[in-house]
Amino acid sequence: MSLHLQREIERLKTHLLTLCALVEEQVQTAIRALLGRDGELAREVERRDADIDHREIEVEEDCLKILALHQPVAIDLRFIIAALKINNDLERIGDLAVNIARKAGALAAEPPLEIPFDVAGMWEKTQAMLRDSLNALVNTDARLAEAVCARDDEVDRMKHDNRVGLEERIRRDPGRVQPLLRLLAVSRNLERIADCATNIAEDVIYMVEGKIVRHREE
């Protein structure tokens, strides 16, 4: 690898990690808005979404510049391909954060409702998956990426349990069906963030080993 290409790839990694930190903060803020019934905080998440979109474009332009100027091969080429796909997943997580924030804003404007599942705990597990997937990318660690993929089932089970609990609550309290459905959407969005983290981990495995593991048999 030429020194110039190495510098461009390190710059790209920095931009990806910056974007990851921003989307993490967006989801964390949306969860705080939900738990704290803070409509203004929820609106702040929506206002900051434009910055996520801007940085996603910046990363894509970095990737295209490297492809055009350096024509990378082997693992360098796979890294650029993975970075383009990961960039898209990070932007999607930003959109999911906005979805959660909108639900939080709507719930804040309604009479208080006890949340019948552990929102913070679900986000903690999802956030750990996201961080580990990016660490796997930076450190070209396929084993860590595989561990992230293995943890996706746990978040899926949490979403399933949340759905069952919320459906039961709706049957017992049909007068609160709309806010309960909003909470169901929050659980679903968190599970989709975990799916995005899994996608990133699968792209890391492709980058390191040249294997496409998406849609593999369980």
Fold (CATH) for 3-209: Methane Monooxygenase Hydroxylase; Chain G, domain 1 (1.20.58)
| pLDDT > 90 in the chain, percent | 84
- Asked if the model's pLDDT at residue 1 lies above 80, the reply is no
* Cβ atoms of 142 and 209 closer than 8 Å: yes
Rounded average pLDDT over 160-164:
95
- Asked if the model's pLDDT at residue 167 lies above 60, the reply is yes
In the prediction, which pLDDT does 19 show? 93
In the prediction, which pLDDT does 216 show? 60
- The C-alpha atoms of residue 173 and residue 185 are separated, in whole angstroms, by 18
- Nearest one of 44, 31, 43 to 109, comparing CA atoms: 43
Torsion sign, CA atoms 5, 6, 12, 16: positive
- Nearest one of 25, 9, 27, 8 to 138, comparing CA atoms: 9
C-alpha 41 chain-centroid distance? 19
- Nearest one of 45, 40, 44 to 108, comparing CA atoms: 40
* Cβ atoms of 144 and 132 closer than 8 Å: yes
| Per-residue pLDDT band at 215 (split at 50, 70, 90) | low
